[in-house]
Amino acid sequence: MTAAAPAQGAPLIFQLFVMFAGAKLLAEAFCWLRQPAVVGEIIAGVLIGPHVLGWVAPSETSRLLAEIGVIFLLFGVGLETRPEAILKVGRVAFVVAVLGVALPFAAGLLLVQSLGGSLVQALFAGAAMVATSVGITARVLGGMGLLDSTPARVILAAAVIDDVLGLLVLAAVAGAAQGGVRLGQIGATAGLATAFVAAIAIFGAPMMTRAAGHFHKLRAGNEFFVIAVVLCFGLALGAAYIGVAAIVGAFLAGLAMADTAERRPELRQQVRGAAELLAPFFLVNIGMQLDLGVFADRDTLLLAGAITVLAIVTKIVGCGLGARSLGWRGALQVGVGMVPRGEVGIVVAQIGLGMGTVDNRLYAAVLFMACATTLLAPPMMRPAFAVRIAEAEAEQAQSEAVRK
């Protein structure tokens, strides 16, 4: 009986080994090429996935690990971000989010309709182009040490607002596909989501700072990490119940614990370790869903290319216009940072396919767009943030020289 146990668990262990080792191997290779590690981790998913080598396929296990990975990733980003810094850029972030939703949605809708697609198909294409996968951008900005910059704060705040707006757009589109839009239900969801985000962002940090003084009474060990993880999963669950992405709740949990983490640096180290373990599964899972067979059909390839180009351009233009008060360079940084669609676009496409309103051709094109924007955004971010990267590297070199 004991001898059979390892054999029974071998497929799962093999899956975990291939996903994690492949992600880290490709990440290291891309770092040597002076490219963002996140691109290597996504490409690792493409290579080991069912459409190339076929070593691993998307499964409930990989999806679960991906969900936990991105939750810890955004929780860690929240820990690095002061709530007042986010609230300070709230007005700019709101304009960025609104324009970053309106332009892509209109572009996707008009493109699919101009190619003969139905109104419902056009609506789903527009909805898939709306939301931003902040997990990708946060991973890149964190790797470059730029989470504390103003454009990064605008991106993070706008992505939270973007998620709420994207939720409302998706609810309206799904309602239209089923024969009617329930304005009352959408309004109630909007109110709940807005109240949830505002309450945690404004009152979360002061409450947790006061409560932190009592954490030392816990005797099980690692009390700050334990409380932080409970809060992370609790707010992620609350966000999911309201209808907002769980990662928004995780990010808000990080914001609430940010002041505590300032006084307890070991908390950030522990969360970074958890994120370093789990985040690669999130990135690999995105890569595994990219079907390179889309290149075989010329019409699908052209549609995928057109949707991808529009998805990139409209985010850069829309979000850049919203951030024009930061100057042209800051506006470009915000626009590029809002480009990746990642798992958000994939989820919208899967909903449309499941409802029978999106055909396989449009589904493949949207899936390609979601993965392509995720792959292309990190290399675009490096030149956009080149000046800030150089300044950060100079500061790091100076501090190391002082220590010596």
Residues 212-226 pLDDT 10s = 666 666 666 677 888
pLDDT interval class at 176 (50, 70, 90):
low
Residue whose pair of structure tokens reads 């390609």 in the numeric block? 368
Q: CA-to-CA distance for 215 and 222, rounded, in angstroms?
A: 10
CB 77 within 8 A of CB 138: yes
Supply the pLDDT for residue 263.
78
The fraction of the chain above a pLDDT of 70, given in percent, is 80
Q: What's the number of domains the chain is made of?
A: 1
pLDDT in tens, 243-298: 677 777 888 888 888 878 777 788 888 888 888 888 888 888 878 877 777 667 78
pLDDT interval class at 313 (50, 70, 90):
very high
In a domain, 135, yes or no: yes
Reported residue count of the chain is: 404
In a domain, 109, yes or no: yes
CB 48 within 8 A of CB 22: yes
In a domain, 33, yes or no: no
In a domain, 29, yes or no: no
- In the numeric block, which tokens belong to residue 29? 């290779």
Q: CA-to-CA distance for 170 and 172, rounded, in angstroms?
A: 5
pLDDT in tens, 323-365: 888 888 888 888 888 888 766 666 677 666 666 677 777 877 8
Show the CA angle centred on residue 302, arms to residues 299 and 305, nearest 5°.
150
In a domain, 40, yes or no: no
Amino acid at 35: Q
Any idea what the CATH number is for the domain that residue 282 is in?
A: 1.20.1530.20
CB 156 within 8 A of CB 269: no
Flag whether pLDDT at 95 surpasses 80: yes
Three-state SS sequence of the chain:
CCCHHHHHHHHHHHHHHHHHHHHHHHHHHHHHCCCCHHHHHHHHHHHHCCCCCCCCCCCHHHHHHHHHHHHHHHHHHHHCCCHHHHHHCHHHHHHHHHHHHHHHHHHHHHHHHHCCCCHHHHHHHHHHCCCCCHHHHHHHHHHCCCCCCHHHHHHHHHHHHHHHHHHHHHHHHHHHHCCCCCHHHHHHHHHHHHHHHHHHHHHHHHHHHHHHCCHHHCCCCCHHHHHHHHHHHHHHHHHHHHCCCHHHHHHHHHHHHHHHHHHCHHHHHHHHHHHHHHHHHHHHHHHHCCCHHHHHCHHHHHHHHHHHHHHHHHHHHHHHHHCHHHHHHHHHHHHHHCCCCHHHHHHHHHHHHHCCCCCHHHHHHHHHHHHHHHHHHHHHHHHHCHHHHHHHHHHHHHHHHHHC
Flag whether pLDDT at 25 surpasses 90: yes
pLDDT interval class at 155 (50, 70, 90):
confident
Query: Taking the CB of residue 206, how many other CB atoms lie within 10 A of it?
Result: 12
Parent domain of 178: 66-290+327-385
